[in-house]
Structure 1
Amino acid sequence: MSGRRLHMRKLKQILRLSLKEKLSHRTISKSLRISRRTVSEYLQRAKAAGIKNWEEVKEVPEVELEKVLFPIKSRKRRREISCQYIHNQLNKTKGTTLLLLWQEYYQQDPTTAYSYSQFCLLYQQWQKRLPIELRNQYRGGETMFVDYSGEGIPYIEKGEKQKAEIFVATLGASDLIYCEAQESQKLSYWIKGHINAFKYIGGVPEKVIPDNLKAAVKKPCYYEPELNPVYDDLSLHYDFVIIPTRVRKPKDKGKVENAVQQIQRWVIAPLRNSQFFSVLQINEAIRELLKELNNKKMKHIGKSRMELFNEIERGALKPLPIEEFELSERRHQKVGANYHVSYERHYYSVPYTLIGQSIEIRATDRTIEVYHRGQRVAVHLRDDTPGGYTTVDEHMPQSHKRVKITPEGLLRWASRIGPSSVEVVERVLNSKRHIEQAYKVCTGILKLEESYGKEALEKACSTAIDYEIVSYRHIKNILKTGMSLSEDSMKTTEHENLRGSGYYN
C-alpha cells in the first residue's frame, strides 16, 4: 500500500461503516474524506484477515487490530522482472494484461516473486522513463481522440467573410484521421462531427477522449468531470465512454495534436489559395485531400493509415446503432400555476401535481419530453406556434376538465327529446360561422329540458321551426311565457313602409 498509513481510529471507522452500516465505498470515501482506492485496500486487508462483521473488532484494541491487518513479513530477495519483455507482450496481443503476465511470473517461483502491486509499480516506474511516443500504446478499436484545429478555412457567405472551424478525429492504434469543416464549435456541430466520424470509420470505439471545451465538459475536474448532458446522451446512444483530458495537459492528447498538425499541413495549407462560398464546398474539397492523407505511407511504419486501420482497427470497432442519434436540447425550469412549461414561446402541459416543482425539458426537432427527477412525466409533439398551448386532458385537475362536445353527441342528445329538437340542433350547427358558438347555443337549448321537461321543449322547438325563430333566447321565451303562438300573431305585418331584407343587400 503506497502512501502514509491511516490512523487506526479512522481505519475502524471504515470497518464500522462497511460491515455494520453496509455503506458503499463511494459513500465511505466521501464521509471520511479519503479516496475510494484507500477504502477498498483497507477492506481487502480486513477480508484477508478473516474479519467478517463489526462485532469481531468492535472491542479489539487498536494495537492488536494493527497487528492483524498489517502482519510483519520476513523480507526475501525478490526475483528481477524484465520490464522490456512486459512492454512487448502488452502490445503484441489484444487482451494481454499485467495481471496475466504477473501470474506467469509468479508461477515460476512464488517464494521469490514480487507481489502484484509491486510488479505493477516497477513496470510503471520503468515506463515513465520511456520517450512519450513509445509509452502511449493503444489497442485496435480502443480509443478515438477529438478536437478542433486552431486554424480554420475562410469562406464568403452572403457577401460576408466567415471562417470555418475544422473538427478533427483520430484513432489511437492506426492514426486514421477524419476531419470536416463546420460553421462553429457549438454543441450541435460538435455532436454532428462525432456522428460523421463514426460513419466514416464504420463503427464506434470503446472510448472517446475530448479536450475540455464547453460542448463536451461543463465543469472540468480530473477525478469527476461534469459532462455536457447532450454529449453524455450521445455516448449512451453509441455505447462509448467519454474520458476528457486534463486541463492544460497537451501530452494527454498527443495523438490528436499530431493529427491536427497533419490536417494543417496536408489539407488546410493546400486550400489556402482557394475561394469558397459555403461550408459544403469546403467539405467537398477536404474529402479528396483527406483520402490522399490516409492512403499516404508513413515512413516510420511503411504502411498507410488506411492499411493499418483495415488490419487492426476495423474488426475491433463496435457496430453502429440501427438508429442515428437525434440531437436534443435540455432546459431546466419550474412548473407554473397553470401546469404548463414553455419552450420557444409555446406552452406544454405537465401533470398538475408538479406545480412549483423543478423539471427538465428535453427538446428534439420532433418532440418535447418533460422529466421530473429522471422520470419522464410528459411527452408532446413539438409545436412552434408562438403563444400557443398544447394540453393533455389527463394533466388537468378534475375541476378543469370538461366534456368534449361534438356534433354527433349533440344530435344524439336531441334525439332523446324529439325530432323537432334534432332539427333545431341541425339548423343551429349550420347557421354559425364558428363551431364553438354553435356548441354553446345547442347546449343551452337542450339544457332547457331540465327546467321545463322533454314535452314542453319539443313543442317549443316545433313552434320555433314553424315561425323561423330558431335561437336560444326565443325558445326560452316561448317556454317561459307558456304562450300558444298563432300563425297570425307570429307573422310580420306586410306594409309598404316596412323595409324588407332585400333593402340591406
Structure 2
Amino acid sequence: MKSDGELMDILNAYDLTGSLRAAADLCGCSHNTVKKAVEDRDAGLPPATHRTKITDDWLEYLEEWVSKSKGKIRGDKAHEKLLALGYTGADRTTRRALAEIKTQWRLGNTRVHRPWITEPGLWLQYDFGDGPVVDGRKIVLLVAWLAWCRYRIVVPLRDRTAASVFAGLDRVFRIIGGAPTYLLTDNEKTVTAGHVAGVPIRNRTAVTFGRYYGITVLTCQPADPASKGGVENAVKLAKADIVPTETNLLEQYATFADVEIACTAFMTEINARVHRATRRVPNEMLAEERPELHGIPDMPHTAVLGVARRVPDNTPMVTFDHCQYSTPATLLGQSVWVRLHDGTDEVVICALDDGGPIEVARHARTTPGSPAIDDAHFPGHHPRIPGDYSVRARTVSEQQFLAIGEGAATWLKEAAAVGTERIYLKMSHAVDLARLGVRGDVDWALGHAAVHGRFATGDLDSILASKGMDLTRRGASESTSLTQGTSGWNLLGSNAIEHKTADETNEGQR
C-alpha cells in the first residue's frame, strides 16, 4: 500500500529513466509496483493507493471488540469470533489486522503522565501496607515519604483507626523534625467521609488534625502514579524487608517491640544509601529540607486518642466507663488517654513519650467490678494468698532462729498455725542446739517436727536423739574413763597370773 506521494515519486522516476527496474531501484520498491502504477496511469485509472484485503469487511467487528475489551482481546479469540460470522481468512491475517487496530486504540487511549516536580518542604505522602502477624493480630505498616528528599519512614500500628493513624503521623513529623505544607493520601474514611459530584468531603477529624499541625490534608487523584507512585514503591520495599516471607526467610516476630526495632533498622539502612533518582543520600537531603518544614507543637494532638485519665501514684489502674483497666507501672502519676476501639470490643490506652503518642495497653472490654489486669503491668508482684505469710525477721532472736535454715521458717509457720505455747522459749532452745552441734542437723529436725506436728517441749531433742544426734548428752570414751575395765580377765588361767600372785605375796610380806 503506497501513499499518493510515493506513487508520484514512482511515476516521476519511471519518466526519468524509462526503465521499470531502474525506477524501482530509485524508489526502493518492486518493479511490479512500478509497472502497475504506469499501466493504471496509461489506462486513465486513479492511483491504487490501497490494496484490498480480506479483513477489510470485518474491521468494524474487530474495532468493536478491541474497544469493549480495552485492547486486551487475544488474536485467537478474535479469529474464533470471525469464523463464527463467516470469515474465511487465515489466523495470521486476523492477528495482523488486530495488532494494527490495537496499536491505534492505545495511541488514542493511553494516558500520558508528566513527571511531578516538587519543592522542598511542601509534600509528605503516606500509605499503608500489611505488616507481620504478632500474637494472632496483623500489624499495619504506616509508610510515609517526603517527596523532595525521598526520605522514607515506617511506623508500625496495631490498627488503621483514626486515632492510631494520627498518632503515627505525629511520630512521623517528629522523626523528620517538622511538618510539611501538604499531607497527601488515599481517599480512605479517616480522611474522606464521602464524595459529592466527584468532590471529596473531608472528615471533620482530619480537618481538626491538620489545623492543629498547620498542614492541609489532601487526597490524590485515582490512578495517578506521578504523585502517588513514590510512597507506593516505599510500601513495597518496606514489606519486602520487614514482613517475613518464604523468600526473605525472616523469623516471625515475638512482640510488637520487635517489629518496631525492625522498622527502625529498615529506615536507618534505606535512608543512608544513594537514591537512584536523585543520586544523593536521603539523609543529606533531609538536612537541607528540614529548614523548609514548619515546627510542630510540643504537645501532640490528643483529641482523637480518647478521654484523658490520670494514673494514681500507687496503683497502675485507670477507670473507663465505670470499669478498671491496668496500665504499665512506669506510668504512675502520669496522664493517659483511653478509648473504645471502633468495631471491636477492646479498650485502648495511649500515653506520650519522646516520640509522640504511643499505645501502651489493650484490654478486652470488661464489666464493673471485674478489673482487667495484665500481669506484665505489675513487675515483681507476688499474689498474696491468705494463710501464705512471708516470714521476715524483726528482732535479733528471730534473725538467729530463721538463720538456722528453711526448716526453721517452716516450723515457725506450722507452730503458729496450731497455737503452740511458749514458742519463743522453744525457738531459743533450737538456737542453742544449733550452736552446740551442726546447724544443718537442727534445721532437718525442725523441718521434721513441722511436718509431723511435734511442737511440744522436748520434741526437738527427741527427734535429734532418734537419729543419734542428741546434742545435750556427752559420753566418756574408753580411753579416758577412770572406771576399771575387764581387760585383766584375759589373764585368768595363765602363768602370768601365778607369777603376779607370788610377787604380790612377797611384796605383802615385806
TM-score, normalised with respect to structure 2? 0.37
TM-score, normalised with respect to structure 1? 0.37
